[in-house]
Structures are given as structure tokens and as C-alpha cells.
Structure 1
């Protein structure tokens, strides 16, 4: 899948040919950088400059991935002066990623796709090293 720089949406030959909305949703989440952005936005809104600094990605890369996620309806923004603050628009996305974590753990590929919140920890969710959401200031290998 490539990002259409002009339209800012995730596109591929399959999507252009009429791929189903379900497949398009999973295509939008198939990129590790987009998953890292989603994981960061699960903690709260952020500006592009915040995401660039925290994730160690180029500004153009962050902007294109945000445009893709916006095109899929998963991310929105609010303007404050000349700044845009991005946030997740669909809380159901966290349920989907939580289900994916359980599925991956069941298949022997445990990973944490979104930050552990107090409610998850209280529910007994396993604490797994998150390779998609490193602490602020740490580089991703």
C-alpha cells in the first residue's frame, strides 16, 4: 500500500478497484508507523511536531500517515490558531486493537498495540513490552 501524496489517503490497486470497507480499514492499520501514531494518540491529542519528536519520524511522513488515518475516519483534528491537534475519533479502535493483542498472544506473538491504561491493568491484562509505543525520547530500533 502506498500513500497518495495528493489526496492524502491510503490507496492501493485493490482499493481503487473497489476493495471492501473492512479490507480498507485493515489496510490503513497495516503500517507500523500508523500503528505507532494510533498508539500515541490513544494517550491524548498531539500536534504533528509532537509526533515527529516522540516517534522520530520525518514531518512529511507523519503528515501523510495522519492524512491516511483521517481519510479512514480514525483520526480527526481541532484547530487552535495555526496549530492542529490530532486525536482518535473512534474509541472502538481501541477495542479492535485489544482484540488483536489477544489474538497475537494466543498465536505466540504477544505484542502491546496500545498503551496500558489503569482499567486494563485492573482487569488483569498482561503487561507486554510495547515495541510500537516507546517511551518519549527513546528511539525505535
Structure 2
């Protein structure tokens, strides 16, 4: 599964589908450290993929795939200007969600990040590692 396919992974339809599918897809789209870093950067205003590449230290193809995922999930929109595309967040409520998550993480301490079943310190810690060394 490539990065852009991951966004739709939680939105299956069928008999086992519940009304939680949309929430699962939303949280899955935010579960990648690079996508979360992109969302955080977009909270400061619009930016081009080329600028994100430099700021995050990731390959252009990687940043483009993550931006496409966020766009496909309806979280990011592109605005063309000449031959360039500037990306921005579609909904300011996304920042409210991230602020609430930070409040929850502060309240629970490291218990969420160190969940023995799902969390790992490297992937879920307070600092987001966006380098492609993984």
C-alpha cells in the first residue's frame, strides 16, 4: 500500500461498515509523522510542495504523496498561481482537533505514547521525526 492509498484504507464500505469509518479514515490520515508535520506547517499559512520539501527534509515525491493523501481526505486544498500550486488547510477545526489531542496527551502523560499494543516511543512521541531515515 502506498502513502496515498493509506488515506482511504479506513473508509471501507460493506456489511461490517459502521458510522465510525469516517473517523477512522480521518485519524489514519493524521497518523503518519510526515503528514502531521505538513498539517502543522499548513496551520501557519499556505505553502508550495517545494517549500515543504526544504522545511521537512523529505524528497519531493514523498511530500507530494502525503499532500495528495491529505487533499484526497479533504483536509488540504490547492490554489494554482501561474505554474505553481499553493496548499492550505480546508478547515480551521483541524487545528482545534490537534490542540485537543495535545491536551489529552499532556493529561495522560506517556501512557498513550507507550501503549504496549499500538504505541511506540519513536512513532508516537511528542517530537515528530520527518526524516526519511525510517
TM-score in terms of structure 1 length = 0.70
Q: Deviations over 1:3-30 (max 9, x none)?
A: 24xxx66233x53455611111011001
- After superposition, residues 90-109 of structure 1 pair within 5 angstroms as 90-109=91-110
Deviation of the 1:133 alpha carbon: 8.9
- After superposition, residues 113-132 of structure 1 pair within 5 angstroms as 131-132=127-128
- Conserved? CA contact 2:34–2:129, under 8 Å: no
Equivalent pairs counted in the alignment come to 114
- Conserved? CA contact 1:3–1:11, under 8 Å: no
Give the alignment's Cα RMSD to 1 decimal. 2.7
- Structure 2 residue 16 is the aligned partner of structure 1 residue 11: no
Deviation of the 1:2 alpha carbon: 4.0
TM-score in terms of structure 2 length = 0.74
Any gaps of 5 or more consecutive residues in structure 1? 110-129
CA distance in 2, matches of 1:38, 1:91: 11
> Counterpart in 1 of 2:117?
none
Residues 29 and 102 of structure 1, relative CA distance in 2, 3 Å threshold: same
- Structure with a larger share of its residues in helix: 2
Q: Deviations over 1:21-45 (max 9, x none)?
A: 1111011001010000001111111
- Structure 2 residue 78 is the aligned partner of structure 1 residue 77: yes
CA distance in 1, matches of 2:24, 2:77: 21
Residues 23 and 69 of structure 1, relative CA distance in 2, 3 Å threshold: same
> Counterpart in 2 of 1:24?
25
Any gaps of 5 or more consecutive residues in structure 2? 111-125
